[in-house]
């Protein structure tokens, strides 16, 4: 499965990003830099395969440096457009054949962009592409089917499940500190029921009948 690393123009903690890239990003088959994310891309010593955006937030000297590289795919857009730069980057990564995306800088800044980026995960799901948003405290992705979690592999202490669709039916949690059996979860109802759960055993599993969940594996700051 071809993996793409997307460096967006949002808030990027470079020490964390460097560690993640060493552990997982090294597996990436291509790197897509997004506008202001070029600054972080350069600082992290990455060679982008594609650069996307309207380039209203990237320093001119960095932009000129990358413009000298004939091997980079450029996807240039006007500032007035319907898509966010992150959506354009996801589309570019998919065009390059990526079916698994690691996305940095998509959280922790403006809330409107963060919510939009979480919803872009649905775009990836619809196109049968795995996608994960990472920051130092969170790993965010979608579930449309069950999953088994292993204590040594989870991103942090806590795992939360939040409905993306109006209703998620038949949720069963086994091996968690707070188990559930065949519970329906709706947007706006019992909002805290599946938030801040923890593994009570070495393995835990979620199963559900229908719907889509936002899954957040997280740790305290």
The residue to which tokens 């920051």 are assigned: 135
Distance CA 113, CA 90 (A): 14
Mark which of 94, 113, 136 sits at the end of a domain.
Answer: 136
Q: What is the pTM of this model?
A: 0.91
Percent of the chain with pLDDT over 70: 95
Give the span between the Cα atoms of 5 and 104, in whole angstroms. Answer: 8
Q: Identify the pLDDT of residue 28.
A: 79
Q: 81-132: per-residue pLDDT in tens?
A: 667 889 999 999 999 999 999 999 888 778 888 999 999 999 999 999 999 9
85 in the same domain as 11: yes
Give the model's pLDDT for residue 78.
65
Same domain? For 26 and 46 the reply is yes
Same domain, 43 and 148: no
Same domain (yes/no): 108, 177: no
Q: Six-digit token pair at 123?
A: 């775009």
**What average pLDDT score do residues 184-211 get?**
94
First to last CA, the chain: 32
> Is the four-CA dihedral 163, 206, 154, 1 of positive or negative sign?
negative
Query: Given a cut of 90, is residue 38 above it in pLDDT?
Result: no
State residue 75's pLDDT score: 79
- CA–CA separation, 122 and 207 (whole Å): 19
Same domain, residue pair 18 and 127: yes
- CATH at 175: 3.40.50.10240
**Which DSSP string do the residues of 12-73 spell out, in sequence order?**
--HHHHHHHHHHTGGG-SEEEEETTHHHHHHHTT---SEEEE--SSS-HHHHHHHHT-TT-E
**pLDDT for 49-78, tens place per residue?**
999 987 777 778 888 888 888 888 887 766
């Amino acid at each position: 499965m071809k993996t793409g690393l997307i460096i967006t123009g949002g808030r990027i903690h470079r020490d964390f990003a460097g560690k993640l890239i060493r552990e997982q990003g090294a597996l990436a088959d291509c790197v897509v830099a997004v506008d202001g994310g070029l600054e972080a891309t350069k600082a992290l010593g990455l060679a982008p395969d594609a650069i996307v955006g309207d380039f209203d937030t990237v320093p001119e000297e960095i932009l000129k440096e990358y413009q000298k590289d004939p091997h980079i795919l450029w996807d240039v857009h006007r500032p007035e457009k319907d898509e966010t730069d992150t959506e354009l980057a996801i589309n570019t990564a998919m065009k390059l054949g990526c079916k698994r995306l690691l996305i940095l800088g998509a959280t922790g800044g403006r809330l409107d962009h963060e919510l939009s980026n979480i919803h872009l995960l649905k775009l990836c799901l619809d196109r049968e592409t795995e996608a994960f948003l990472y920051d130092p405290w969170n790993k965010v992705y979608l579930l449309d089917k069950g999953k088994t979690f292993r204590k040594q592999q989870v991103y942090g202490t806590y795992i939360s499940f939040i409905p993306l669709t109006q209703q998620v039916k038949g949720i069963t949690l086994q091996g968690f500190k707070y188990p559930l059996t065949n519970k329906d979860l709706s947007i706006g109802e019992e909002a805290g029921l599946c938030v801040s759960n923890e593994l009570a055993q070495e393995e835990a599993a979620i199963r559900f009948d229908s719907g889509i969940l936002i899954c957040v594996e997280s740790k305290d700051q």
